[in-house]
Amino acid sequence: MQGFSFLAKGKRSSVYAGTLNDKKVALKIFNQSSDRSFNEAYWLRKLNKVGIGPKLLSYTKGKIMYEFVDGPLFEDFIKQDDHPLDLILAILRQCRQIDRLKVIKEELQHPQKHIFVVPKRKIVMIDFEKCHASRTPKNLTQCCQYFLSFRMRHILKKKGINLKKSEMIPLLKAYKDNPTPTTFRKIVLYIRKQTKKN
């Protein structure tokens, strides 16, 4: 495509980078066999209102355009960062916000390619094509399962954050059964307490 360069390819779409009105943008083109453009645009527009996701610029059948997410992936970033606690809590706050909207993003158990750190240490999530409404959203619990995976616990422990499954899972179960500000705060407090202060 003229003016755009290939960026990435997934199972259901390909992403290209380009410029529009002197701003860098991303153009996502869906496969004909899996056109989820309207679904992603619908939820991205709603989530943008609460500061989540890249800003949606336009959409048509089979295509959506949004502001380019200019930053490294979360995992790549924290490997070079000595104090990732604020980033982890920012991710969990976004998950909590999505939960409150009664929406499931999906794929947050394995979000390695979906969470970026942009300038000013701001977290931006991408890929909302599988989003759907739910009376029992599970974004926060799914994301915490990711942090509790063997690989992530190993990475975080090196950064002074020692999460223990035996201690955190009961907190997640309490949140799942009753997703209130109180059960969410208990998860945040636990993670803070497991973080060494340098």
**Burial degree of 82 (CB within 10 A; 0-12, 13-18, 19+):** exposed
The predicted pLDDT at position 196 comes to 85
For the chain, what percentages of helix, strand and coil (3-state, to nearest 5) are there? 40, 25, 35
- Report whether pLDDT(16) > 60: yes
Q: CA dist 117 to 86, 98, 121, 131, 191, Å? A: 11, 18, 6, 21, 20
- Report whether pLDDT(133) > 90: yes
- Report whether pLDDT(89) > 70: yes
Q: What is the DSSP letter of 119?
A: G
If pLDDT is split at 50, 70 and 90, which confidence band does 1 have?
Answer: low
E strand segments, the chain: 5-9, 13-20, 23-30, 56-60, 63-67, 103-104, 115-118, 122-125, 132-133
| b/e burial code for range 13-32 (CB count within 10 A of at least 16 → b) | bebbbbeeeeeebbbbbbee
Interior CA angle at 126 toward 123 and 128, to 5°? 135
Looking only at the bridges linking them, the beta strands covering 13-20 and 5-9 are antiparallel
Domains in the chain: ranges and CATH: 5-67 (3.30.200.20), 74-193 (1.10.510)
Structure tokens at 198: 């340098």
- The answer to whether the pTM exceeds 0.85 is yes
- Report whether pLDDT(121) > 60: yes
Measured between its terminal Cα atoms, the distance across the chain in Å is: 50
Looking at per-residue confidence, does 190 or 34 come out higher?
A: 190
The predicted pLDDT at position 32 comes to 78
Kindly report, residue by residue over 103-118, the tens digit of the pLDDT: 999 989 889 999 999 9
If pLDDT is split at 50, 70 and 90, which confidence band does 11 have?
Answer: confident
- Report whether pLDDT(198) > 60: no
Kindly report, residue by residue over 152-182, the tens digit of the pLDDT: 999 999 999 999 999 999 999 999 999 999 9
**63-67, strands of its sheet edge to edge:** 5-9, 13-20, 23-30, 63-67, 56-60
- How far is residue 79's CA from residue 85's CA, in Å, rounded to a whole number? 13
- Report whether pLDDT(2) > 80: no
